[in-house]
């Protein structure tokens, strides 16, 4: 894909919700190339994507992959395969590599067994662990931190990592952002 144009402003979905930035892209893998829209969402930031930038967008939706519904992972990478951004929602930790490993090669996702707390619906909040080779990073649920994965710095945000007390089903939602993709100073005004 090649970014053809990037709107100068980021549009709020609804009051208090995330922002969406629309990027007009051209598919470069077909002749003649055809256009489509790519949508990047963030709570407070606009991604650094410039017209003429080449990148890949990939997504996988797993229907009914868990007790809460379906899971999804979206990934944006450079043409050479370097991950720029990934977000997962309701991803099953035990089957993560099987379901999404081809979109984020080498990424292992696990949770630590000790519960940080238990919510009113009986789900245990857990610490998540991310690793690629010898690069490893642990992040508590509902927090973020910077870590090295694939030999590059990423901000890793874990929206939730929980286990149901009834079924022990372990689900996670997270985002990985390559350093510089969401530059400081482009937050919502």
Whether residue 9 is predicted with pLDDT greater than 70 in this model: the reply is no
Give the pLDDT confidence score for residue 149 in this predicted structure. Answer: 96
Q: What is the pLDDT of residue 189?
A: 38
Angle at CA of residue 38, ends 61 and 67, nearest 5°:
20
The reported pLDDT for the residue numbered 187 is 41
Average of pLDDT values for 181-185?
57
* pLDDT on residue 68: 60
Query: Domain limits of the chain?
Result: 1-53, 55-182
Sign (positive or negative) of CA dihedral 104, 173, 36, 24: negative
**pLDDT of 145-163, one tens digit each?**
999 999 999 989 898 888 8
State the pTM of this model: 0.75
pLDDT, tens digit (0-9, with 9 covering 90-100), for 114-141: 778 887 777 788 899 999 999 999 999 8
Residue 20 has pLDDT above 60, yes or no: no
DSSP for 95-131 reads THHHHHTTTSTT-EEEE-SS-SEE-TTSEEE-EEEEE
**Is the separation of the CB atoms in 79 and 54 below 8 Å?**
yes
Distance CA 124, CA 130 (A): 19
Q: How far from chain centre, in Å, is Cα 134?
A: 21
8 Å CB contact between 150 and 83 = yes
Q: How confident is the model at residue 186 (pLDDT cuts 50, 70, 90)?
A: very low
Average pLDDT over all residues of the chain: 76
């Amino acid at each position: 894909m090649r970014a053809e144009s990037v709107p100068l402003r980021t549009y709020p979905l609804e009051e208090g919700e995330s922002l969406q930035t629309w990027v007009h892209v051209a598919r470069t893998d077909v002749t003649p190339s055809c256009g489509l829209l790519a949508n990047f969402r963030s709570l407070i930031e606009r991604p650094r994507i410039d017209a003429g930038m080449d990148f890949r967008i990939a997504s996988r939706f797993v229907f009914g992959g868990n007790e809460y519904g379906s899971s999804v992972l979206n990934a944006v990478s450079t043409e050479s395969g370097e991950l720029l951004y990934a977000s997962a929602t309701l991803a099953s930790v035990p089957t993560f590599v099987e379901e999404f490993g081809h979109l984020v090669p080498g990424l292992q996702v696990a949770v630590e067994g000790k519960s940080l707390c238990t919510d009113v619906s009986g789900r245990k909040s857990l610490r998540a662990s991310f690793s690629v080779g010898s690069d490893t990073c642990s992040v508590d649920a509902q927090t973020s931190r910077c870590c090295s994965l694939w030999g590059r710095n990423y901000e890793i945000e874990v929206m939730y990592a929980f286990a149901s007390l009834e079924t022990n089903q372990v689900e996670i939602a997270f985002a990985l952002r390559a350093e510089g993709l969401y530059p400081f100073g482009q937050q919502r005004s």
